[in-house]
Structure 1
Amino acid sequence: MDNDRGTVTVAAIPGWRIMRSDAGRLWASREQPFPKAAEKAGAARTVDGDTPDELATAVAAQEDLALQVSAS
């Protein structure tokens, strides 16, 4: 992972743009909006984490929520 400010390449999270804040915290923003029903259910398009694993977990939780809503 790149320690510079700006975009960080994380191939393990396709469809999400990964950034590192000035404070070193990782953020991910989904490149495409979630469907309206998923947004209403609380799926967040931007999440954060202190480590790559925490960030991946936060992204997975949002994608899982959106999947559950679309399956109902």
Structure 2
Amino acid sequence: MNASHCPRCGQRNQCAQAESATPVSDCWCFGAAIDPALLDSLPPEQRNRACLCPRCAQGLAPLKPQAAAD
């Protein structure tokens, strides 16, 4: 699994932390309120591996079906 892709839809997750080799001080995901049920709906092997993209984090439908992320 690629940490820069959303585990729900496979799109880039736009996470500054995933894109940087060093710790970052700010990213959209740091302050995002994500429904725990949404995280629980992910397969166990995809949890705590990568951020959701902003669209999925809001609980919106993915733009396209989940694709295998490299």
Same fold (TM over 0.5): no
The higher-RCO structure (CA 8 Å, 6+ apart) is 2
User: Relative to total residues, which structure has the larger helix share, 1 or 2?
Assistant: 1
